[in-house]
Amino acid sequence: MKKTLQDLPPSLLSGAAVALRADFNVPLDRDAVADPSRIERTLPTVGHLVSHGARVVILSHLGRPGGRVRPHLTLKPIAAHLGRVIEGPVSFLPCSAGDPVRDAVAGMARGSVMLIENTRFLGGETAGDPALADDWAGWADHFVMDAFGTAHRSHASTDGLPRAVKRNGGEAVAGFLVAGEIKALGAVLRDPRRPYVAAVGGAKISGKIDVIQALLDRADTLLVGGAMANTFFGALGLETGASLTEPEKWETARRLIDAGGSRLVLPVDCTVAAAVGPGLETRAVDRSEVGPTDAIGDLGPVSVELFGRYLADAGTVVWNGPMGAFEVEAFARGTLCVATSAATAADRGATVVIGGGDSAAAARMAGVATRITHISTGGGAALAFLAGKQLPGIEALSDSAPT
């Protein structure tokens, strides 16, 4: 068990400089936050720290700047948004490390909040540079992890920093968001209600091979959709036309098909067009009838019904990744129907967990988000956790005393 923010006595927080790793990787529309849900999920942690007199220094990334300063990926608009929602001042520091951060932290008042610049402007962040972690730990008395979506990454701010804080005698604990994720996902990992149905979609099988194999070992049924299914089609010798696929992963897909047997369920038909884009004529075809110029953009109607039956009978549902190009109206039906079927299963008493990102967006688009048991803030992290993998950003936290 890992310590949580609730385990720290108020006296330990009063006046302390607390490094809070948040996940403010949110979409921006010019200088405005387009979807504040990730920010809002961190508000209980920020409020707790402020109310107990901590000096709260928030670290986050935004986008993939590649270790260079990218002005369009600055966190400055997020600081302004955060100040409005917590109804208090949030200062923004346009740098990420070094003496300017150290000096700014030293000058903070109790109960104040500061957001420093995008951690990924520094090349050492994604490289897990221990010197960068030590630099941050030089001013941090304690560390709070509230960025579950990055917990599966061994980055300087998620793995190195909490370890450095502990070496310096401080505490590294889970914030309320991360503690909630561990509780909800842990229940599914330890004792899922049967039948346990996992649905995995998205573009590529790359990077998810280990997770898919682990889910096959744990779940009763694994539904595969999205462009990922095209790679399995190729492994079966089926035509995929102009569809997105990964021929170099066909052999891997064959091994997964053999290992999964009847537990691995692929679409039996597809919605295709000349290309995956708006304004094009679509048609439904059997997966064996995809033409050499067809592009697969979604599940076909028979597959939608097939997947829905599996989900309707489930005791536990885990879903991560869209079933097609749902951002295009003509290819949205499969994803939205999976969202609706998952919500119906939850209404009937099933435990339904949806990974973050596109799956969460699809649940909101379908109008069923409030009916889902748990919507995770991290897609990849949630999948890795449910596959039984250790997450570096969780493993780095302080252990709680045995009971």
Which tens digit of pLDDT belongs to each residue from 90-142? Answer: 999 999 999 999 999 999 999 999 999 999 999 999 999 999 999 999 999 99
Phi and psi, residue 164, nearest 5°? -65, -40
Q: Give the pLDDT confidence score for residue 207 in this predicted structure.
A: 72
Name the DSSP class of 158. Answer: I
Q: Crossing angle for the helix pair 250-260 and 228-235, nearest 10 degrees?
A: 80
Catalytic residue list: 38, 204, 357, 380
Left (φ > 0), alpha (ψ -120 to 50) or beta: where does 383 sit?
alpha
Q: How confident is the model at residue 194 (pLDDT cuts 50, 70, 90)?
A: very high
Token digits of residue 222: 């694994």
Strand order in the sheet with 295-299: 283-286, 269-273, 295-299
Residue 149 CA to residue 126 CA, distance in Å, equals 14
pLDDT above 90 for 31: no
Residue 403 has pLDDT above 60, yes or no: no
The tens digit of pLDDT for each residue in 366-379 reads 999 999 999 999 88
Cα–Cα distance between 23 and 12 in angstroms, integer?
24
Q: Indicate the average pLDDT of the chain.
A: 95
Residue 153, pLDDT score = 94
- Beta strand pairing call for 374-375 and 351-354: parallel
Asked whether this chain's domains 5-178 and 192-386 adopt the same fold, the reply is: yes
As a whole number, mean pLDDT of residues 339-343 equals: 97
Query: For strand 55-59 and strand 113-116, is the pairing parallel, antiparallel, or unpaired?
Result: parallel
Q: What is the pLDDT of residues 164-179, one digit of tens each?
A: 999 999 999 999 999 9
Shortest CA distance to 12 belongs to which of 172, 121, 145, 218? 172
Q: Does domain 192-386 have CATH number 3.30.9.10?
A: no
Q: In the chain, where are the structural domains located?
A: 5-178, 192-386
Q: pTM of the full predicted structure? A: 0.89
Q: Quote the percentage of the chain above a pLDDT of 90.
A: 89
Element (H, E) at 296: strand 295-299
Look up the CATH number of domain 5-178.
3.40.50.1260
Q: Are 147 and 60 in contact (CB under 8 A)?
A: yes
Tell whether the model's pLDDT for residue 315 goes beyond 80: yes
